[in-house]
């Protein structure tokens, strides 16, 4: 079933770019409302739980959301066991969970909702969401969602809205010429460094994992910055997450590192 059907529930649909919002704003939830950062000196803090078994995507989302004054990441989970504990410990949080977490995702979504939390599903394709969880979701975003849209979606869910991001995954992948070009230019070693940067590792940590010296990593980074057109580590992490084909290549490189060090 299409998630739009699951989220409809008599809600008014409003299009904003490629985000479909399916719950109307109340009178005090517009710009300057009680839950809006622009409302005044007091900012309503949104507690977030990130759950994704792919470390590079989890780290990238964390970097984006942590920059916002009204958002605080209280837990990061790589599996459903940790997610269950976090949902129990941080009731009423906003949970961003990857559809790749199996096999009891539907049970965890129900648990989160039962404890007063709201749930945003991160998926490969927003047009295909399992029937058993579709009606329980507060929102759906594609894994390749832009940082600004991810932030916006969290704020809308916090205000009681429901939405689904509309993305044509096939078209998106075919037109990501920048990500493809950069991926093809990076060497395997550079891709491993990109993966570790996206996970938040420092140069010393990267050098230790790759069995080399910190200065060597710095030299590699200069070349990576030139090839990607970025100027620092944060830009590199965000660039990687934004370009799906590059992010997938980096995720594979990161998995290889984990296998070697296990």
Q: What is the pTM of this model?
A: 0.63
* Full set of structural domains in the chain with CATH: 3-170 (3.40.50.2300), 176-261 (1.10.10.10)
Strand-pairing partners, residue 47, are: 72
CB 120 within 8 A of CB 149: no
Q: What is the pLDDT along the chain (262 residues), one digit of tens a residue?
A: 333 333 433 333 333 333 333 333 343 333 333 344 444 455 679 999 999 988 778 888 888 899 999 999 999 999 999 999 999 999 999 999 998 888 888 999 999 999 999 999 998 776 667 777 888 899 999 887 878 889 999 999 999 998 787 654 444 444 578 889 999 999 999 999 999 998 888 999 999 999 999 999 999 999 999 999 999 888 888 788 778 788 888 888 887 777 666 5
CA angle 219, 225, 229 (to 5 degrees): 160
> What is the edge-to-edge ordering of all strands in the sheet holding 163-165?
14-16, 19-21, 163-165, 139-142, 118-123, 94-98, 46-51, 71-77
Q: What is the DSSP letter of 162?
A: -
Of 79, 75, 119, 60, the residue nearest 248 (C-alpha): 60
Euclidean distance between CA atoms 123 and 105, whole angstroms: 12
């Amino acid at each position: 079933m299409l998630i739009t059907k699951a989220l409809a529930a008599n809600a008014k649909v409003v299009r904003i770019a490629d985000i479909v919002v399916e719950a109307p704003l109340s009178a005090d939830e517009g710009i300057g409302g009680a839950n809006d950062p622009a409302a005044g000196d007091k900012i309503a803090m949104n507690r977030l739980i990130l759950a994704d078994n792919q470390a590079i995507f989890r780290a990238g989302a964390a970097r984006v959301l942590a920059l916002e004054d009204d958002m605080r990441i209280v837990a990061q989970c790589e599996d459903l066991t940790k997610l269950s504990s976090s949902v129990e410990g941080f009731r009423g949080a906003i949970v961003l969970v990857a559809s790749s977490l199996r096999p009891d995702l539907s049970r965890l979504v129900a648990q989160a909702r039962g404890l007063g939390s709201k749930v945003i599903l991160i998926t490969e394709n927003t047009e295909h969401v399992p029937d058993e969880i579709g009606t329980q979701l507060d929102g759906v975003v594609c894994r390749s969602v832009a940082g600004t849209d991810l932030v916006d979606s969290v704020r809308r869910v916090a205000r009681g809205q429901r939405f689904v991001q509309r993305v044509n995954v096939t078209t998106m992948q075919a037109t990501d010429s920048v990500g493809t070009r950069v991926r093809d230019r990076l060497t395997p070693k550079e891709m491993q460094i990109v993966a570790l940067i996206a996970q938040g590792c420092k140069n010393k940590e990267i050098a230790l994992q790759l069995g080399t010296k910190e200065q060597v990593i710095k030299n590699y980074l200069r070349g990576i910055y030139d090839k990607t057109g970025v100027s620092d580590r944060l830009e590199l992490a965000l660039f990687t997450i934004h370009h799906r084909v590059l992010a997938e290549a980096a995720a594979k490189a990161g998995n290889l590192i984990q296998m070697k060090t296990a």
